[in-house]
Amino acid sequence: MPVYNATLQKVDEKETRRYAGLARSEDFPTKLISEACLEVQSLAKPAGIYEIYPYQSEQALIAALEPLKLTGEVIKKHLAGAEKVAILAVTIGKQLEQAITGHFEKGEYTSALLLDAAATTAVEMVADQLNELIDQQAARLGYKTTWRFSPGYGNWDITAQTAIIKLAGAEQIGITVTETSMMSPRKSVSAVIGFIPRSSTMVTAADSEIKNTCANCSQVDCHSKKTK
């Protein structure tokens, strides 16, 4: 299972502002956003891992040594036509969680919330990097890829998290799953990416112009929603 040692040269301040619910607050001090991003950059220990498995689309079955049958119509539709799937997991480590908790314990609520938003931005940036690497590998093999899809999206039950983390080999980079199907460290991401033959004529999720964005999310009144 290839381990990916990601880099975070800079944490995106615009995305951090969005995750903090400040996208429309033009008068919020930019300095505080910058400080949170720098703190994340100094504390983050980014790492990723992934594995590629055969996939039986009609049975919605990941054909691993311990096969996993997917449930939920959204994930089945998303992977329709796929011959393989990449299972990925990324994290930025535990130190940031400790720092966020430390800010809260000191009563530094603004700093804690901004650090949490910057950490979310950072882990998504690491996931994007690994996603791009997987896309490149798929292209070399003659496939197009779907956008990444995580347990808990749509009607894909969050309880699939344990199996997905195991298939990714995420314990090698320190990720575990709690009894309530939450990942630890908390700032971690897992996902499935479908590999669909470029020769395929069926319309699939890989052909959709609507990628893994807010336009694809059913949650309403989200303070982090992207605006056009």
The tokens of 150 are what? Answer: 């995580």
Asked whether the beta carbons of 32 and 114 are under 8 A apart, the reply is yes
Work out the angle at residue 198's Cα, subtended by the Cα atoms of residues 204 and 133, and round it to the nearest 5 degrees: 90
Q: What is the CA radius of gyration of the chain?
A: 18
Asked whether residue 219 carries a pLDDT value surpassing 70, the answer given is no
Which architecture does CATH list for 14-207? Answer: 3-Layer(aba) Sandwich (3.40)
Helix axes 30-43, 95-105, angle to 10 degrees: 140
Local confidence band at 197 (pLDDT 50, 70, 90 cut-offs): very high
Q: What CA–CA distance (Å, rounded) separates 74 from 51?
A: 22
Which three-class secondary structure state does DSSP give residue 92? coil
Beta strands in 3-150 (DSSP E): 3-4, 47-56, 61-62, 68-69, 84-91, 143-145
pLDDT for 23? 87
Domain boundaries, the chain: 14-207
Cβ 201 vs Cβ 115: under 8 Å: no
Segment 16-37 mean pLDDT: 93
**207 pLDDT higher than 80:** no
Mean pLDDT throughout 55-60? 95
User: 205: pLDDT confidence band, cut at 50, 70 and 90?
Assistant: low
pLDDT at 172 over 90: yes
Give the whole-angstrom CA distance, residue 190 versus residue 132.
15
Give the pLDDT score at 15: 96
Q: Is pLDDT at 116 greater than 70 in this prediction?
A: yes
| Contact partners, residue 179, CB within 8 Å, separation at least 6 | none
Q: Cα separation of 215 and 98, whole Å?
A: 33
Closest CA to 194 of 65, 68, 52, 74: 52
Main-chain dihedrals φ then ψ at residue 78, nearest 5 degrees: -60, -35
Q: Say which amino acid occupies 16.
A: T
